[in-house]
Amino acid sequence: MKLNERSVAHYATCDSPTDHAGFLRKRVERHHHHAHHHHATSYQRRWFVLKGNLLFYFEERDSREPVGLVVLEGCTVELCEAAEEFAFAIRFDDAGARAYVLVADGQAAMEAWVKALSRASFDYMRLVVRELEKQLEEACKSLAACRQSPRRSSSSSRKRHLSNPALLPLPEKPAVLENGYSTWGSGGAVPGGATCPDRDGAQAKPPPLPPRRRSAAGSAVGSPAPGLSPGMTESPVSPETACFSKLHGWYGQEIAVLRREWQERQKRGHP
């Protein structure tokens, strides 16, 4: 099967985010052609780079091209009882598939690699993104209805598996919103409870909440809307919003406005 290898190799060495990197010793897998042939297990030290769901390995740290790639979809990562200490294995579901046995320099390095590799799959990332997307939607809706009592998140059951594979028990935390203010570095605790933001913002307070757009259902819930055009009716976080760059640009606008307002207020002698 062909693969766009040149592009893949380029991706391995370009400056896109690296999720983990370090030296590991990789067990050399030999094929036993004859029953009586016995090869001593040997390991090769390689420089490993994890980017997303792809694990590259290089002969040297400064090699310009990877020697190999392990696509990590559908794998499990487990500690293994090899003769070596700090060994772990990447295994695949496929019955005949070989495992990649890797040996770290020490306990901490081994744990860091196992953790990084366990969360490397595309599906895991997608899960987290969708969860945050929902949370953002819920946060928007809650702020739009800020005069009502604080709402509890109904999504607590989803939370546990996101710290997979440890599956540590998590304290049940209802997502009760504060008054929606971020701290803005202005110091001082922000009062709790879902109070409405002060509209004119003339006093010594954090800047007002950004104006909330109408929800996809179209009902205006009396939230403050200074500054932004009333024509914006499309909800940026409805499930139909697919274009991230559009979302990004959209939020960018209001942030620019808010920043300007806040900076002006600072200049006016905000204590």
Of residues 65-124, which lie at the interface with other proteins (CB under 8 A)?
Answer: 65-71, 73-75, 92-94, 96-97, 116, 119, 122-123
> What residues contact 86, with CB distance under 8 A and at least 6 apart?
103, 104, 105, 106, 107, 109, 110
Span 32-51, contacts to other proteins by CB under 8 A: 49, 51
Q: Which of 76, 45, 61 is nearest to 13 (CA)?
A: 61
Residue listed under structure tokens 């909800």? 235
Contact between residue 235 and residue 250 where contact means Cβ atoms under 8 Å apart: no
User: Which one among 79, 108, 136, 256 touches other proteins, defined by CB under 8 A?
Assistant: 136
Beta carbon nearer to other proteins, 85 or 239: 239
Closer of 169 and 231 to other proteins (Cβ): 169
Q: How far apart are CA 245 and CA 226, in angstroms?
A: 24
Q: How far is the CB of 42 from other proteins (least distance, A)?
A: 17
Smallest gap from Cβ 122 to other proteins, in A, equals 4
Question: Contact 209/226 with Cβ under 8 angstroms?
Answer: no
Shortest Å distance, C-beta 97 to other proteins: 6
> Half-sphere exposure (CA, 13 Å, Cβ side) for 253?
11
- The stretch near other proteins (CB under 8 A) out of 24-32, 77-85, 132-140, 216-224 is 132-140
Please identify, using beta-carbon distances, which residue of 108 and 132 lies nearer to other proteins.
132
157 binds other proteins (CB under 8 A): no
Q: Cβ atoms within 10 A of the Cβ of 103, count?
A: 21
- Site for other proteins (CB under 8 A): which residue of 80, 139, 225, 257? 139
Nearest residue (CB) to other proteins, 67 versus 80: 67
Task: Give, in degrees to the nearest 5, the angle at Cα 98 between 82 and 121.
Answer: 95
Name the residue nearer to other proteins (CB basis): 39 or 184.
184
Nearest-angstrom CA–CA distance, 7 and 220 = 49
Q: Supply the minimum distance, in Å, between the C-beta of residue 202 and other proteins.
A: 22
Told to check if 28 binds other proteins by CB under 8 A, we report no
For position 229 contacting other proteins by CB under 8 A, the verdict is no
Gap between the Cα atoms of 182 and 161, Å rounded: 27
